Amino acid sequence: MTEKREPNEDRAALAAEHALRLLTGDYRRRAEMLESSDPAFAEDVARWRGRTAPLFGEVEPVDPPQILWDRVERATAGDGRGSNVVILQRRVGLWRAATASMSALAAALALVLLLQPGRVPLSQQPQQQAPASPPLVAMLGDQQRQMKVVASWDPNAQQLVLAVAGDMPADPRHSHQLWVIPADGKPRSLGTMDSARQMHMRLADALAELLQQGATIAISVEPRGGSPTGAPTGPVVASGALSRA
């Protein structure tokens, strides 16, 4: 782009473009990231939604068919008394359960890794890792979601073990993809996840050396088969930092 703009002009324009939903690709992702991380930007976007809203006045109302309310009613009646509070409590309950089982799981996994360092045949262990490194564990999740994942990394065997607790949202059009985000902040793909409760992956040297204490392990939602660009394109549904078990 050749036009020169002040950085704050650029941001103002980005907020407007994002509110109108003109953006695609990296621009859209940048705007989404800013919207969730920068309150001033988010407010700007919200203000643009308000600014353009009078255009809705031009839209002619059209009565939807009668049966549509029945569909809405059915879709919302399933929640019983259905209050948000009830839903929220259910979520919190699930989350607590998942967290509890996850902590137990993490402990168990860490134990397994600590007590059985020799599970992987010695011949497959890389030479340069000679001094045994301690296993690392990352708890992936956040409070809103019902899926929790524990990732355990055994640097000596270069083996990553994933255990899923709770519901991993399934959708035939999308895959979950696993990433490591090392100190340089650039996500590297560790591959897509299958629907199994447990997964073992042995990582190549180049990836293995990125799994250091403090590196983030994240799961994003991607088109079926994985990100087409090699970088995360969808939202991150769970993430956590690697730390000593």
Partner 1 sequence: MLDLQGCAAAPAGFSFSRGAGWGMTRSMDRMSRIADTDGGRAVLAELLRRTADGDQAALRQLYQRTSAKLYGICLRALGNDGEAQDVLQEVYVTVWKKASRFDAAKASAITWLSVLARNKAIDFLRARRAAPDDLDAAAEVADDSRSALEVLEQSQDSARLAHCLEELDERARAMIRSAFFDGATYPELAERASVPLPTMKSWIRRGLLRLRGCLER
Interacting stretch for partner 1, rule CB under 8 A, among 93-101, 194-202, 203-211, 220-228?
Answer: 220-228
Interacting stretch for partner 1, rule CB under 8 A, among 109-117, 123-131, 204-212, 227-235?
Answer: 227-235
Helix, strand or coil, per DSSP, at residue 10 = helix
**Contact status: 60 vs partner 1 (CB under 8 A):** yes
| CA-wise closest residue to 203 among 189, 213, 193 | 189
* Under 8 Å between Cβ of 165 and 98: yes
Orientation angle between helical segments 25-37 and 7-20, nearest 10 degrees: 100
**Contact status: 89 vs partner 1 (CB under 8 A):** no
CB nearer to partner 1: give 161 or 238. Answer: 238
Query: What CA–CA distance (Å, rounded) separates 87 from 146?
Result: 12
Helix, strand or coil, per DSSP, at residue 146 = coil
Provide the phi-psi class of 103: left if phi over 0, else alpha when psi is between -120 and 50, else beta: alpha
Determine which residue in the list 121, 128, 228, 244 makes contact with partner 1, applying CB under 8 A.
Answer: 228
CB nearer to partner 1: give 32 or 209. Answer: 32
Q: To the nearest 10°, report the CA torsion of 74, 80, 85, 91.
A: -90
Determine which residue in the list 11, 28, 91, 188 makes contact with partner 1, applying CB under 8 A.
Answer: 28
**Contact status: 174 vs partner 1 (CB under 8 A):** yes
**Contact status: 35 vs partner 1 (CB under 8 A):** yes
**Contact status: 20 vs partner 1 (CB under 8 A):** yes
Helix, strand or coil, per DSSP, at residue 153 = strand
**Contact flags string 94-123 toward partner 1, x per CB under 8 A:** ------------------------------
Provide the phi-psi class of 230: left if phi over 0, else alpha when psi is between -120 and 50, else beta: left
CB nearer to partner 1: give 45 or 157. Answer: 45
**Contact status: 40 vs partner 1 (CB under 8 A):** no
